[in-house]
Amino acid sequence: MGNAFLQMLWTLVLAVLLSTSSGEDATLLKEERGTMDGSVSQHYANLGAPQVILFCPISGNTSAAQWFLNGKAVPEAARKDGSLILRNVTLAQSGEYSCRDSEAGLPLRRIHLKLGYPPEKPDVRCWSASYPAASCNWALPTETHLPTVFFSTYRHGLEGQEYECILSVAEANFCSIPNIQMFTIDPYVLNVTAANPLGSATRLFPIFLEQILKPDPPEAVTVSPIRGEKKKLLLEWKPPLSWRFPEYFPLKYTIRYWREGSHGRKSIRPTEQTSFVLTGIRSGATYYVQVAAKDFLDNGEYSAWSSPASGTAWSDGS
């Protein structure tokens, strides 16, 4: 009973002592609380930097400063003023550094050291699956190891008004331009700027719609027998749905086909129609057909091949 009372009394006395401790102790306690409530300062540095200096806010005997990385004592000794120098830093040296006053047994500062590179100019690629829109994506040539954000804008010519190139929500490295004038002398210029805590880099990329045009593959390709025709096949397809104005900007199509089991592929010269009758077909054999599309005026590139469709010519039995 007496012991329990004494214990309670001591707890009270200690609490009063702590709350009225001297100014310096109060600062240290505040620092400690600062480190304990999770406030960690961020420090960014270049990988391979010849030296990175981390300061320790130690007062009094500075040779009592001790440094830890992720809770383990660092091999480097603290300098006279308590700071830590890291040389030729590598990724393994990133992490949470803390400085302690070993005499007072107090944590003084926590620093999250993040190492990486400033971004390089992004590599940009643009394409258009239909007049008059374009899409672009980009990638960084080297990994930065740091969170990097992108800004994408474009303008028509050097003096034109600046517009936002609309980023899709899902990907931070893809944007689209809804409306590009064709056959213009001044190019559209896309500005893709990459930025992270160590720096930023801008790529200016000229866009000529006529050059980057590449339709999506034709759709709904079918291969059908023609009644009474043992050596012919009817091929039909549709322009890609993404090609928005086939009536104003027609497409031309090229076809390739092969007989099942044979390696040779034959192709048909371009046509503007969306159907074609293949002749010289071997009866009973299965034929595979693919179609690709290109702008009728020959701007840009051919689409990728459509997925193959197959069929067999009409026979007496069918």
End-to-end CA distance of the chain: 106
- How far from chain centre, in Å, is Cα 226? 50
For ligand NAG, the closer of residues 44 and 151 by Cβ is 151
For ligand NAG, the closer of residues 163 and 302 by Cβ is 163
**From CA 247, how far away is CA 306, in angstroms rounded?**
21
Give the tokens for residue 270. 């371009």
Residue 303 has a CB neighbour count (10 Å cut-off) of 25
Asked if residues 256 and 289 have their Cβ atoms less than 8 Å apart, the reply is yes
Q: Least distance to ligand NAG from the beta carbon of 94, Å?
A: 17
Angle at 275 between CA 272 and CA 279, to 5 degrees: 110
For residue 270, cis peptide bond before it (omega within 30 degrees of 0):
no
Q: Least distance to ligand NAG from the beta carbon of 18, Å?
A: 24
Asked if residues 263 and 310 have their Cβ atoms less than 8 Å apart, the reply is no
Interface ranges with ligand NAG (CB under 6 A): 61, 63-64, 87-88, 102-103, 151, 153, 191, 193, 202, 204
Q: Least distance to ligand NAG from the beta carbon of 25, Å?
A: 17
Residue 251 has a CB neighbour count (10 Å cut-off) of 19
**From CA 243, how far away is CA 94, in angstroms rounded?**
50
For ligand NAG, the closer of residues 123 and 260 by Cβ is 123
- Tokens 């034959």 found at: 266
Q: Least distance to ligand NAG from the beta carbon of 127, Å?
A: 21
Q: Least distance to ligand NAG from the beta carbon of 51, Å?
A: 9
For ligand NAG, the closer of residues 198 and 213 by Cβ is 198
Q: Least distance to ligand NAG from the beta carbon of 269, Å?
A: 45
CA atoms lying within 13 Å on the CB side of residue 270: 14
For ligand NAG, the closer of residues 203 and 259 by Cβ is 203
The alpha-carbon radius of gyration of the chain (Å, integer) is 35
Q: Least distance to ligand NAG from the beta carbon of 156, Å?
A: 13
For ligand NAG, the closer of residues 153 and 224 by Cβ is 153
Helix (H, G, I), strand (E, B) or coil at 23: helix
For ligand NAG, the closer of residues 76 and 96 by Cβ is 76
